[in-house]
Amino acid sequence: MMIDSDLSLKQLEKRISYIFLNNSLLKEALTHRSYLNENPDWAFNHNERLEFLGDAVLELGVTRNLFRDYPNDDEGKLTSIRAALVNSLMLATIADELDLERYLFLSKGESKDRGRARSFIMTNAVEALIGAIYLDRGVESAFDFIDAFVMPHLPRVLEKRLYKDAKSLLQEIIQNKNKQTPQYEVTREIGPDHDKVFVVAVFAGDNKLGEGSGPSKQEAETEAAQKALEKLQVE
Protein backbone atom coordinates (compact mmCIF):
# COMPACT_ATOMS: atom_id res chain seq x y z
CA MET A 1 0.00 0.00 0.00
CA MET A 2 1.46 3.36 -0.97
CA ILE A 3 1.17 6.04 1.69
CA ASP A 4 2.23 9.62 0.99
CA SER A 5 1.17 11.61 4.04
CA ASP A 6 3.65 13.02 6.52
CA LEU A 7 1.46 11.62 9.29
CA SER A 8 1.94 8.08 7.97
CA LEU A 9 5.69 8.56 7.72
CA LYS A 10 5.70 9.70 11.33
CA GLN A 11 4.18 6.31 12.16
CA LEU A 12 7.18 4.68 10.51
CA GLU A 13 9.55 6.93 12.45
CA LYS A 14 7.84 5.85 15.65
CA ARG A 15 8.15 2.20 14.63
CA ILE A 16 11.90 2.50 14.08
CA SER A 17 12.40 4.86 17.06
CA TYR A 18 14.11 7.44 14.89
CA ILE A 19 13.02 10.97 13.93
CA PHE A 20 14.57 12.37 10.75
CA LEU A 21 16.03 15.84 10.83
CA ASN A 22 15.66 15.92 7.05
CA ASN A 23 12.35 14.33 6.14
CA SER A 24 13.27 14.44 2.45
CA LEU A 25 15.82 11.69 3.02
CA LEU A 26 13.12 9.41 4.40
CA LYS A 27 10.86 10.03 1.41
CA GLU A 28 13.71 9.35 -0.99
CA ALA A 29 14.55 6.11 0.82
CA LEU A 30 10.97 4.93 0.33
CA THR A 31 10.64 5.97 -3.33
CA HIS A 32 10.90 3.19 -5.89
CA ARG A 33 11.96 4.00 -9.44
CA SER A 34 8.54 2.94 -10.77
CA TYR A 35 6.79 5.68 -8.81
CA LEU A 36 8.65 8.39 -10.71
CA ASN A 37 7.39 7.00 -14.03
CA GLU A 38 3.80 7.70 -12.99
CA ASN A 39 4.55 10.82 -10.94
CA PRO A 40 7.10 12.91 -12.89
CA ASP A 41 6.48 15.92 -10.64
CA TRP A 42 7.49 13.99 -7.50
CA ALA A 43 10.08 16.14 -5.75
CA PHE A 44 12.33 13.29 -4.61
CA ASN A 45 14.76 10.91 -6.29
CA HIS A 46 14.32 7.14 -6.33
CA ASN A 47 16.14 5.22 -3.60
CA GLU A 48 18.82 3.37 -5.55
CA ARG A 49 21.72 5.66 -4.56
CA LEU A 50 20.69 5.47 -0.90
CA GLU A 51 20.46 1.69 -1.26
CA PHE A 52 24.05 1.64 -2.55
CA LEU A 53 25.20 3.69 0.44
CA GLY A 54 23.13 1.76 2.98
CA ASP A 55 24.50 -1.57 1.78
CA ALA A 56 28.03 -0.45 2.70
CA VAL A 57 26.96 1.04 6.04
CA LEU A 58 25.06 -2.15 6.91
CA GLU A 59 28.10 -4.33 6.24
CA LEU A 60 30.30 -2.03 8.32
CA GLY A 61 27.85 -1.97 11.24
CA VAL A 62 27.50 -5.75 11.33
CA THR A 63 31.26 -6.19 10.91
CA ARG A 64 31.94 -3.88 13.85
CA ASN A 65 29.65 -5.89 16.13
CA LEU A 66 31.03 -9.27 15.11
CA PHE A 67 34.66 -8.12 15.39
CA ARG A 68 33.99 -6.78 18.89
CA ASP A 69 31.86 -9.63 20.23
CA TYR A 70 33.64 -12.68 18.74
CA PRO A 71 37.37 -12.08 19.28
CA ASN A 72 38.25 -15.76 18.99
CA ASP A 73 36.58 -16.44 15.61
CA ASP A 74 38.61 -16.21 12.42
CA GLU A 75 37.93 -13.99 9.43
CA GLY A 76 36.33 -16.77 7.41
CA LYS A 77 33.67 -17.60 9.97
CA LEU A 78 32.93 -13.93 10.70
CA THR A 79 32.51 -13.28 6.97
CA SER A 80 30.01 -16.13 6.71
CA ILE A 81 28.03 -14.91 9.72
CA ARG A 82 27.95 -11.39 8.32
CA ALA A 83 26.69 -12.67 4.98
CA ALA A 84 23.83 -14.45 6.72
CA LEU A 85 22.83 -11.22 8.48
CA VAL A 86 22.87 -8.96 5.42
CA ASN A 87 21.55 -11.19 2.65
CA SER A 88 18.29 -10.51 0.82
CA LEU A 89 16.33 -13.16 2.73
CA MET A 90 17.26 -11.61 6.09
CA LEU A 91 16.55 -8.07 4.90
CA ALA A 92 13.15 -9.14 3.58
CA THR A 93 12.39 -10.56 7.02
CA ILE A 94 13.37 -7.26 8.62
CA ALA A 95 11.21 -5.35 6.13
CA ASP A 96 8.26 -7.53 7.11
CA GLU A 97 8.90 -6.90 10.81
CA LEU A 98 8.85 -3.15 10.14
CA ASP A 99 5.78 -3.49 7.90
CA LEU A 100 7.84 -1.41 5.51
CA GLU A 101 5.77 -2.07 2.40
CA ARG A 102 2.95 0.06 3.83
CA TYR A 103 5.17 3.11 3.45
CA LEU A 104 6.74 2.58 0.03
CA PHE A 105 6.03 4.90 -2.91
CA LEU A 106 5.34 2.51 -5.77
CA SER A 107 3.66 2.62 -9.17
CA LYS A 108 0.16 1.20 -9.37
CA GLY A 109 1.50 -1.87 -11.14
CA GLU A 110 4.17 -2.54 -8.53
CA SER A 111 1.64 -1.94 -5.74
CA LYS A 112 -0.48 -4.82 -7.06
CA ASP A 113 2.43 -7.22 -7.48
CA ARG A 114 2.45 -9.66 -4.57
CA GLY A 115 5.30 -11.78 -5.96
CA ARG A 116 8.98 -12.03 -5.24
CA ALA A 117 9.80 -8.80 -7.03
CA ARG A 118 7.93 -6.97 -4.25
CA SER A 119 10.05 -8.73 -1.62
CA PHE A 120 13.17 -7.65 -3.46
CA ILE A 121 11.93 -4.03 -3.53
CA MET A 122 11.39 -4.10 0.24
CA THR A 123 14.85 -5.57 0.77
CA ASN A 124 16.38 -2.67 -1.14
CA ALA A 125 14.28 -0.21 0.86
CA VAL A 126 15.81 -1.46 4.13
CA GLU A 127 19.28 -0.68 2.80
CA ALA A 128 18.08 2.71 1.51
CA LEU A 129 16.61 3.49 4.93
CA ILE A 130 19.97 2.76 6.57
CA GLY A 131 21.67 5.00 4.03
CA ALA A 132 19.18 7.79 4.76
CA ILE A 133 19.75 7.55 8.51
CA TYR A 134 23.52 7.68 7.92
CA LEU A 135 23.20 10.90 5.89
CA ASP A 136 20.69 12.38 8.33
CA ARG A 137 22.61 12.02 11.60
CA GLY A 138 25.77 10.07 10.95
CA VAL A 139 27.21 6.60 11.31
CA GLU A 140 26.38 6.04 14.99
CA SER A 141 22.67 6.59 14.35
CA ALA A 142 22.83 4.12 11.48
CA PHE A 143 24.62 1.66 13.76
CA ASP A 144 21.85 2.11 16.35
CA PHE A 145 19.29 1.04 13.72
CA ILE A 146 21.42 -1.98 12.80
CA ASP A 147 21.80 -2.92 16.46
CA ALA A 148 18.05 -2.66 17.01
CA PHE A 149 16.74 -4.46 13.92
CA VAL A 150 19.50 -6.57 12.36
CA MET A 151 21.66 -7.90 15.18
CA PRO A 152 18.72 -9.45 17.13
CA HIS A 153 18.65 -12.08 14.36
CA LEU A 154 22.18 -13.24 15.20
CA PRO A 155 21.14 -15.93 17.75
CA ARG A 156 18.91 -17.60 15.12
CA VAL A 157 21.72 -17.45 12.55
CA LEU A 158 24.06 -19.18 14.99
CA GLU A 159 21.52 -21.69 16.29
CA LYS A 160 20.40 -22.82 12.83
CA ARG A 161 23.88 -22.57 11.31
CA LEU A 162 22.59 -20.15 8.69
CA TYR A 163 26.13 -18.79 8.42
CA LYS A 164 27.22 -21.96 6.69
CA ASP A 165 27.37 -21.76 2.90
CA ALA A 166 23.75 -22.56 2.13
CA LYS A 167 24.28 -24.44 -1.12
CA SER A 168 27.09 -26.60 0.28
CA LEU A 169 25.18 -27.36 3.47
CA LEU A 170 22.03 -28.28 1.53
CA GLN A 171 24.01 -30.54 -0.79
CA GLU A 172 25.58 -32.30 2.20
CA ILE A 173 22.18 -32.88 3.84
CA ILE A 174 20.41 -34.06 0.66
CA GLN A 175 23.24 -36.38 -0.38
CA ASN A 176 23.30 -37.97 3.07
CA LYS A 177 19.51 -38.22 3.27
CA ASN A 178 18.44 -39.03 -0.30
CA LYS A 179 21.66 -39.94 -2.10
CA GLN A 180 20.86 -37.12 -4.55
CA THR A 181 22.45 -33.83 -5.57
CA PRO A 182 20.21 -30.73 -5.46
CA GLN A 183 19.44 -29.23 -8.86
CA TYR A 184 18.72 -25.53 -9.47
CA GLU A 185 16.34 -24.28 -12.15
CA VAL A 186 15.49 -20.73 -13.22
CA THR A 187 11.68 -20.68 -13.20
CA ARG A 188 11.08 -17.00 -14.01
CA GLU A 189 12.80 -13.77 -14.94
CA ILE A 190 11.02 -10.61 -13.77
CA GLY A 191 11.53 -7.05 -14.96
CA PRO A 192 13.55 -5.30 -17.67
CA ASP A 193 17.15 -6.23 -18.47
CA HIS A 194 18.59 -3.34 -16.46
CA ASP A 195 16.62 -4.31 -13.33
CA LYS A 196 16.02 -8.05 -13.72
CA VAL A 197 15.11 -10.37 -10.87
CA PHE A 198 15.76 -14.10 -11.28
CA VAL A 199 13.54 -16.67 -9.56
CA VAL A 200 15.21 -20.03 -8.98
CA ALA A 201 13.82 -23.26 -7.54
CA VAL A 202 15.93 -26.05 -6.05
CA PHE A 203 14.89 -29.70 -6.45
CA ALA A 204 15.88 -33.08 -5.13
CA GLY A 205 14.61 -35.29 -7.92
CA ASP A 206 11.02 -34.17 -8.51
CA ASN A 207 10.66 -32.74 -4.99
CA LYS A 208 10.79 -28.95 -4.88
CA LEU A 209 12.74 -27.96 -1.78
CA GLY A 210 12.65 -24.19 -1.95
CA GLU A 211 12.57 -21.10 -4.12
CA GLY A 212 14.58 -17.88 -4.04
CA SER A 213 15.02 -14.67 -5.98
CA GLY A 214 17.75 -12.13 -6.59
CA PRO A 215 19.41 -9.78 -9.07
CA SER A 216 21.68 -12.63 -10.21
CA LYS A 217 21.19 -16.35 -10.66
CA GLN A 218 23.83 -17.03 -8.01
CA GLU A 219 22.05 -14.92 -5.37
CA ALA A 220 18.71 -16.50 -6.27
CA GLU A 221 20.22 -19.99 -5.93
CA THR A 222 21.66 -19.09 -2.53
CA GLU A 223 18.29 -17.83 -1.28
CA ALA A 224 16.57 -20.95 -2.65
CA ALA A 225 19.04 -23.09 -0.70
CA GLN A 226 18.43 -21.04 2.46
CA LYS A 227 14.66 -21.45 2.11
CA ALA A 228 15.12 -25.20 1.59
CA LEU A 229 17.28 -25.46 4.72
CA GLU A 230 14.70 -23.66 6.82
CA LYS A 231 11.96 -25.94 5.48
CA LEU A 232 14.01 -29.04 6.26
CA GLN A 233 14.71 -27.82 9.79
CA VAL A 234 11.00 -27.30 10.42
CA GLU A 235 10.24 -30.79 9.12
Q: Which residues are catalytic?
A: 55, 127
Give the phi and the psi of residue 52 in degrees, each rounded to 5: -60, -45
CA gap 171, 177 in Å, rounded: 10
CB 99 within 8 A of CB 14: no
CB 191 within 8 A of CB 201: no
- Write the DSSP symbol of residue 87: S
SS3 227: helix
Task: Kindly report the three-state secondary structure assignment for every residue of 105-126.
Answer: ECCHHHHHCCCHHHHHHHHHHH
The amino acid sitting at 11 is Q
Residue 183 has a CB neighbour count (10 Å cut-off) of: 12
